[in-house]
Structure formats: C-alpha cells, structure tokens
Structure 1
C-alpha cells in the first residue's frame, strides 16, 4: 500500500509499523496512490450492482462493496465492519423549496451505525491499523470521530483512547463514546491542540491515529461519493454541497470524484460547495481572499460543534478538490444553520447542526446567484439529529430569538378528562 506526499510527491509505504501520517521529507500530508491500470469500470459496475443484494459478507457494507477502489490490499479477515454506508437518499419537497433549487437530494450519512459519516472512513482506518498489528487506536475529536472510533474498537476488541475538548462539544457524542467503552480524556483546549498532541506523542505511545491526517480515513470516506453516484446510476447532480470542519469529507469527496471520473464511472464532474460556520471559517476566508495558505482561526466558535475547528488538517486536499471541480465556499451564521436544521428535521429526516450548514449554504448560494434555481444539488447530511439534542431543546423550548415562529415547536401542558377530552391550559 503506497501513499504520496501532497507537497513534494515523495512515495511512502504503509505496509508496516510505524504508521506514517506526514511526509518525512517536507512534512506534507499524504494521499493513497492506487494502480488502477487494470481496472475495468464496466465490469466493476456490474460487480457493485451484484453486491448490493448481498447480506452475509463484507460486501453488505456500503464501504467494502467498493473495496477494489479503496483498499484492495487488505485481506477480508482483517476487515472491520458494521454494514456501514447503505444510507438513504431522499428528495423532501420542503427542503428543496427552502433551498430554492429545481431538484435536491439529501444523502443521509446520519443513518450510519454510529450516527455520522465518520463510519465510512473509520471502518477502513481501523481495518488498516489492525492489519499493521496495532492494539491501541486514538483520535482527537469534537465528538463524531470519537464515537465512531469507539464503536469500531469495540467491534474489533481493541482499545480506543480519545481526546475531547472540555467545552463546545455535544455531551451526546461524549456519552456515546463512553458507552462503547473508549477511554475518554477531556482537555482545556481546542481540537487543533489535540491534533498537535497526537502528532508529537502517538508514535512513542504506540497509538494508531484515526483522525483525517490518516490517509486511510480519507480512502474510506470516498465511498460516500461512490454510493451517491451508484444511487443515481452514475449520473451526479450539478452541485454537491457539504459542511466543512476538519475538511476530511471535502478531501475524500475530491479523491472519490477524481477516481470515478478518471476511470470512466461518471462522464462529468459536478461542482462542489464547502460550507463553514461563520465563527469557524478559516478555509472559506482563505478561498474568498484567493490565498494559497490557510491562516488558522485561533478561537473558533459555533453552535455547530462538529464544525468548531480552527485549523482543519485536510485544507490542502480540500483546496485541490475545489480547483478540480471549479467549486466554491460559503460561510453561514449559526442562526441560518439552526433554521435550516429545523426545516430538515420537519421533513422527517433530521440532522445535527453541522449537517444543516450544507442546506443553509445551498440556500445562501442560490440567493446570491452562484447556484441557479434550475440546477440540481445533493447535500451531504453528516450526522444524526440525536447527536446534539441540546440544539433541539434550545431552538424549540428555550426561545432562541432567531428561531422562526413557523418552525418552532413546543411542549404543551394539558389536562386529561374522560368527559371533555384534552383541554389545553
């Protein structure tokens, strides 16, 4: 298994310990390099179709179904899976009308077994670490990564150790991580501080790092775009819109689109829009200013906790993806995010605040004339609404000033009477 540096092109082998996450020459981030010279796209399309009906093999997974394009070197006996992927694709009319486009798909990665898109990448990262012989797996997280790692570690019977900032993190995600049995360490700092600590200490402590600095995480997350394209019979919409925190999903989307287009699975590239929260938008600010180097946000702050990242590790990969797809970025306020979330929730699908940033961003880009109303789009919903129930309570019950009255719902106090029925107080 080979990787290459994004900066200088140095080749790095990933077949043995210690796992390498950065180039030993220039410190650049790595990407997996595949030899697809023998790939027959037409044959693989038939194989992928056949695997969709399988239930008692690793092909039942929406990740491992596409193993030839993700990690063909891994033997089946090291694969860790919980039938991740296989998430729904929906076209709710209320959300389409809210966003203002002709046709809108929602790809609900929130339906993954741990409740977020992180499962697509984590299945591959943990399998690779197991292949290398690691017994301790680690990450720093605002919540979704830690709960996903904890789940796969429990399935594989290995130890997970996670670092979680002590503030601006959803308690639901931390509780989920605890329930799966991981060792949870909170610290007084940001996600970026945790990443720095792991980069210095992980190798010495024998830990396999499962954050997006790990190129195998990105490979697994490619399956999201593979499955979306497969769902749509290999005809993607005009735009794909997704939220951007650590930017691992944007990086994976770009690699997946590159692979599908190069191999002939799709005949054109959609444009991509990466949406950040205004309080944590270093990538958007860099792109808007036409800069080539990211300036970190030292104190990121947003209600969408999964986006609360000031120094996204995968920014360079995300930038290359935008250039390849002629894509754009946008930043939306917390109020816009919560309004979009309420709309998605009321459509019967639901999502966490970070996911709703994609819908809010799509609406903003349509209103600003960047995306035309007659175009089609797909939004990636990255996390379940139950990942952050505090956000639901704040919006509907605590009287958040920005909550639109038509979307706010409240609990009513009633009196039950056998004669008079329900009488509202």
Structure 2
C-alpha cells in the first residue's frame, strides 16, 4: 500500500502521510494497493468461509474483505459493529415504476447507524486509532456525523462534529447527540466546515473522517464487493448511486476496478451517478464536457445528504468512475426524488430522500433512452427511512407539499359497517 496524490501524482509511503491527507501541492491523497501476490481463487474461498463467522471482525461486511481494503491494519485496532451485511432486494413494483426489466435495491440503510457511511467510517476510525488518535472529527449534514459518533463511542474515543446551521435533518443530528458527539453548529455551508478542517484539524489533534480521508473510500469499496459476492460475481448492466460528496461514487468505481483487475468479475457494469438539481456541480461539469468542477455556493435540495456544492471527492470520482462510454451523470428534481422515495417506501424497503435519487435517476435515464428497458440494474439506497421523518410528514400529510403518491389517515368511528367498507375499498 502507498499514497498517491490525485493531482500531481507524487507518491508517499503509507506511514509518511497523516491527516488530513492532502499532498504538499494541495491535492487529495489516494491509496494504491499492490495486489500482485493476491490469489483470487483462494480469496473467494476465504470470503465464502467468513460468511459463517458471527463474532470476529471478519463477520463484518467490510472486514470480510480486509485483504482488499486495509491488509496492513493489525486486528486489535479494528473497530467494528458488524457493518455491511446489508440486503439486496428485488422489487417488481419499483422496477415497474422505473420501467426496467430487472431491478435490485442495495439497502445500505440497514447499516448499524442507518447509512452507507458505516462502511467507510469503520475503516477511518480503525486506522485513526492505529495512528494513536483518540479525538475524531467531521463536517456533516447528518449521516457522516451519526456514523462517526457511533464508532468513536464504540472505541471509547471522542468525536467533534461541525454542523451547518441549515440544510440538515434533525433526526440525524439527534442521533449524533445521542451517541455523545461534541456538536459545533456554525453559520455557512458544508464546504465551509470542510475548509476549516483542512486548515486546523491537525493543530487541534483531531483526526478527520470526512471523505478526504482515503481510508473512508477503502472501506466504502466493500459495498460493491458485497454486491458482487451476493450475486456470485455476476454484476448487472448498470449500477446507480446518489452523488453528494462523491465518496460513494469514487468507492464504487475503485472497487469495481479492483474486482475486474483481480479477475473476480469478467466485465465492468455501467455506472450512473445521480445528483439533485439544486446541488449538481459534478453533473453540470460532466454535461458540459469539462474536467474542472465549478462549485455551487448556495446548494439547495430537500435531499439533505446531497446538499453539497463542492464535493471533496470529485477528482477521485472523475478518475475512477467516469469511464468513457460506460458512465453517465444525471440530475433530478426534488419532486422526482420524493416520488421515487414514496415508491421505495411502499415496497417495504424504505429509504431517506437522498437514497431515492438513485431510483429517480434511473427512471429518468430509462425514459430518456439512455438506459435500455431490457437492462438489469442495482440502485444503491444510502440511508434509512427514519433518517428524515420531516420529509415523510411533508410528503404525505402537509397540505401544501403533499406528493403524488401520498398516503393519508382515514378518520372513522370504530363502527363495523364503516370499517368494513373502508377495508373492502382499500387496495
């Protein structure tokens, strides 16, 4: 393993670069593995054997694939809550709504803190502990903070969370408070908090666990390893992922490259990265055919986890994920997101608004003819249905914002005839 700068290409030994993992040129550092000694067939057998593990670190859906994520980390430093191990569901109702032949939904929402962030956070906190840190930090609109607070508490460490005053979900903030994080609410945006962390975290003795931390990306690669493993190493035509900070998109592309280079899979699927229209700088760059992202100073979307105007991992996502002729980006409206969320919720799987962007984006790409109706796809659902209960109330119950697929209370006396009529009429 070694570090490599995503900007200038300079390399550093794995023990010579520390938080916040930026190169002297200002670029972000990436982790490069040397997999030349990896025996793919032996690893496949080992991964299968670990599926029956229940109590060791290898019972984790992340550390099951330790050899591809952080082979050098000593086991005693692994901080795990058996994250990963999330469901991969088939839903004919959501597939019909999208207009595609076969669709599976990867419910990263089933992680211990309720979001995909756990896949990466277990790796970041574990490595931080290995380096000797006991204080961890992040800037967050919600999911990152609750995940960090959980793992810090689990390891007996402390966490310091920088939280923008606006564009957040109270549910996630309360979860973060419950896990014992020290919360600093500040005026400004997510991007302001990131800049502060880059400048002052090391002086404050804080280990940064935002997606600029390359170990976050390594942990999040397990998402695609697990999908491939669940599908017996036969991936679908398309994988669709929401794009906020773009760490998930980066991890997806990087993990797929690992699997293909090592021979776990024989072909690479196409990738679609979905952003909300009010916070879509990466999509705007790709649509314009450029390679320089123009940050949005005032991002705005109801999908709070996507409310990021200057995604830290955009260069990594560009490098690993946006392969020519095999990857696309798309932006969707908040209305499209919330309608897709209603369909996912009604399927019995459920998700937060940002998760539903993947389903809304897939539907839009099918309707545009970019994705063929006979294709197969997996949509990544990134957060739990209860991560933003205000969004549920607004969509279903608020008069001014009630959605197209809103469900409602039925007011009735407990009288046999009235209830029977209601039950018989209901679908």
2:342 aligned residue: 342
- 1:413 deviates by 2.5
Question: Cα–Cα, structure 1 residues 420 and 33, in superposed 2: closer, same or farther, change >3 Å?
Answer: closer
The offset of 1:19, in angstroms, is 2.6
1:161 Cα deviation after fit: 0.3
**How far apart are residue 317 of structure 1 and its match?**
1.0
Q: Indicate how the Cα distance of structure 1 residues 324 and 81 shifts in structure 2: closer, same or farther if over 3 A, else same.
A: farther
How many aligned residue pairs are there?
421
Cα drift, residue 400 of structure 1: 4.6
Shift of 1:18: 4.0
With 58-67 and 320-329 compared, the bigger mean Cα shift is at 320-329
User: Which residue of structure 1 lines up, in the alignment, with residue 199 of structure 2?
Assistant: 200
User: Which residue is 1:301 aligned to?
Assistant: 300
Following superposition, the deviation at residue 241 of structure 1 comes to 0.3
Quick one: distance in 2 between partners of 1:239 and 1:388? 28
User: Could you tell me which residue of structure 2 aligns to residue 414 of structure 1?
Assistant: 412
**Alpha-carbon separation, structure 1, partners of 2:325 and 2:140:** 29
Q: TM-score, normalised on structure 2?
A: 0.96
Shift of 1:412: 2.5
Deviation at 1:52, TM superposition (A): 0.6
CA distance in 2 between counterparts of 1:420 and 1:31 reads 64
Q: Secondary structure in 1 aligned to 2:239?
A: strand
Q: CA RMSD in A?
A: 1.5
After superposing on structure 2, the runs of 4+ consecutive aligned residues of structure 1 that deviate more than 4 Å are 417-424
Compute the displacement of 1:421 (Å).
6.1
- Residues 142 and 164 of structure 1 are in contact (CA less than 8 Å); yes or no, is this contact kept in structure 2? yes
Q: What secondary structure, in the 3-state scheme, does the structure 2 residue paired with 1:322 have?
A: coil
Give the Å deviation of 1:416. Answer: 2.8
Residue 13 of structure 2 corresponds to: 13
Deviations 1:363-410 (A, max 9, x none): 000000000000110000000010000000000000355611xx2111
CA contact (8 A) 1:16 1:132 kept: no
Q: Does structure 1 residue 131 correspond to structure 2 residue 133?
A: no
- Map of 1:370-385 to 2, 5 A cutoff? 370-385=370-385
1:243-282 pair list within 5 angstroms: 243-282=242-281
The answer to whether the 8 A contact 2:139-2:193 is kept is yes
* 8 A contact 1:5–1:28 mirrored in 2: yes
Matched residues in 2 for 1:100 and 1:18: separation?
Answer: 47
Gaps in structure 1 of 5+ consecutive residues: none
Q: Secondary structure of the equivalent of 2:203?
A: coil
Q: TM-score, normalization: structure 1?
A: 0.96
Distance 1:324 1:29 in 2: 23
Q: SS of the counterpart of 1:388?
A: helix
User: Would the aligned equivalents of 2:412 and 2:419 in 1 still touch at CA under 8 Å?
Assistant: no
Is 1:230–2:234 an aligned residue pair? no
Give the equivalent residue in structure 1 for 2:85.
86
Q: Secondary structure at the match of 2:358?
A: helix
Find the residue that maps to 1:153 and give its secondary structure: helix
Structure 1 Cα separation of the partners of residues 17 and 26 of structure 2 = 18
Q: From the superposition, tell whether residues 168 and 420 of structure 1 become closer, same or farther in structure 2 (CA, over 3 Å).
A: closer
> How far apart are the structure 2 equivalents of 1:325 and 1:79?
39
Q: Equivalent residues in 2 for 1:279-290 (5 A)?
A: 279-290=278-289
8 Å CA contact retained: 1:415, 1:422: no
Indicate if the aligned counterparts of 1:63 and 1:120 stay in contact, CA closer than 8 A.
yes
| Alignment-derived partner of residue 50 in structure 2 | 51
